[in-house]
Amino acid sequence: MAKERARNVESGAEAKPRSAGARRPAHATSGRAPRSRSSSGSKARPLVGGVGISSPERIVDAETGTTKQALAEFYLEIADWLLPHLQGRPLSIVRAPDGVGGETFFQRHMGRLKMPHVRQLDPALDPKHARLLQIDEVTGLLEAVQMGTIELHTWNARSDRVERPDRIIFDLDPDPALPWARMVEATCMTLDLLKDFGLQAQLKTSGGRGMHVVVPLTRRQDWECASGFARRITERLAGEAPERISAKMGPQNRVGKIFVDYLRNQKGASTVAAYSVRARPGLPVSVPIVREELAELDAANRWNVTNLMQRLREQPHDPWQLDGVRQCITWAMRDRLRRGAS
Ligand code: ATP
Ligand code: MN
């Protein structure tokens, strides 16, 4: 099944929905004020975290009935958890001005959006393009939500040293027909192989169908090294369990399997941030977990804007307790992978 992609928005071009969109939920239509009125300032804009929210009653997700104001309030509530995952990293946003089911826009640049507290990074970081974005504080986050943002994606590098990735991400994508147990199994296989190479990893639900395995790194290696290592680890996994894991992109290559997507480890690629909401029905959230939770987990969209805060209240520690972990890709690891020895 082909995944829907957000439309890429070129910098400078105003992102406009192509049309009202046939798949737009019927009752979302009435909630959307005409552009001229919503931008005129004549209508009341409730403040959320100090940011005025236009069209606050507009339905963002028909399944949960979440309004734009409620989404902003959720982001304000989750901000202390989310911001550490956004701070200091180039960012992409996925906006859905017409809500979930409407057209989405994948955007790495400011364009004509008004988000004064979203940083625009030094143009030297990405010389041929417009300035990259970064959110370091809650006001910028809420300004992004005010501009219709639902998802926040980040790079695998921090903007003070963009040539040195500080993590690798394996994105496990299942054939949608597979039972969840196979995702758990593939996640464990990935973790075990990494452990065998002496690497600790963090885990999060994608909020969609799969899991994300995140390997934190000290910033010794460049992109070529990190992405090459990710590819070889994936090929090793697929070699060990070819009936269960695929290292090749495309739905035809993962029939009955899980595709381990290692391609997000190139410069400029991004992945949804931990604690970001997803622009999907029910507004699921990408949530960090510990390995021990995998056995009880029943789906990657287990947590959403409605039930996540309860989990965080019950378990107030971030499961990613790897701040003290200092690990990098060594010559010995690369050599072992290259030789193909076990
Ligand atoms: P799932 O578990 O359902 O696979 P996911 O987060 O792993 O969820 P997607 O939401 O399909 O998968 O992620 C798409 C990836 O492609 C993300 O890394 C995102 O940053 C990137 N992306 C999405 N839309 C675009 C686009 N229009 N142009 C470039 N990159 C995009
Ligand atoms: Mn995925």
Residue numbers of the domain that contains 321 = 167-269+289-294+316-337
Q: pLDDT digit string (tens) for 243-254?
A: 999 999 999 999
| Residue in 35, 56, 34 with CA at minimum distance from that of residue 45 | 56
148 CA distance to ligand 1 centroid (A)?
A: 18
300 CA distance to ligand 2 centroid (A)?
A: 10
Q: How many domains does the chain have?
A: 2
What pLDDT is stored for residue 240 in this prediction?
Answer: 96
Asked if pLDDT for residue 33 goes beyond 60, the answer is: no
Which residue carries 């021990």 as its tokens?
292
Pocket test for ligand 1, best of 258, 272, 301 (most atoms within 8 A of CB): 272
Whether residue 265 is contained in a domain is answered as yes
What pLDDT is stored for residue 339 in this prediction?
Answer: 85
Same domain membership, residue 135 and residue 262: no
Q: pLDDT digit string (tens) for 53-100?
A: 999 999 999 999 999 999 999 999 999 999 999 999 999 999 999 999
How far is residue 152's CA from residue 29's CA, in Å, rounded to a whole number? 25
Which ligand places an atom closest to the C-alpha of 208? 1
**C-beta of 154 in contact with ligand 1 (< 6 A):** no
CATH number of the domain encompassing residue 56: 3.90.920.10
Q: What is the mean pLDDT of the chain?
A: 90
Percent of the chain with pLDDT over 70: 88
Mean predicted confidence (pLDDT) in 162-180 = 97
Asked if pLDDT for residue 334 goes beyond 90, the answer is: yes
Same domain membership, residue 224 and residue 137: no
**C-beta of 180 in contact with ligand 1 (< 6 A):** no
Whole-prediction pTM: 0.89
What pLDDT is stored for residue 217 in this prediction?
Answer: 97
Q: Are 21 and 101 in contact (CB under 8 A)?
A: yes
Asked if pLDDT for residue 278 goes beyond 80, the answer is: yes
Same domain membership, residue 135 and residue 88: yes
340 CA distance to ligand 2 centroid (A)?
A: 27
Pocket test for ligand 1, best of 92, 168, 301 (most atoms within 8 A of CB): 92
Q: State which of 11-25, 78-92, 320-334 shows the largest mean pLDDT.
A: 78-92
Same domain membership, residue 333 and residue 201: yes
Pocket test for ligand 1, best of 1, 3, 109, 304 (most atoms within 8 A of CB): 3
- Point out the ligand 1 atom lying closest to the alpha carbon of residue 270: 20
- Point out the ligand 1 atom lying closest to the alpha carbon of residue 212: 7
For 318-325, the CB contacts below 8 A with 24+ separation are: 318/81, 318/288, 319/202, 319/203, 319/288, 319/289, 319/290, 319/293, 320/202, 320/214, 320/274, 320/288, 322/200, 322/202, 322/216, 325/200, 325/216
- Residue 10 binned pLDDT confidence (cut-offs 50, 70, 90): low
Same domain membership, residue 213 and residue 324: yes
- Residue 4 binned pLDDT confidence (cut-offs 50, 70, 90): low
Whether residue 279 is contained in a domain is answered as no
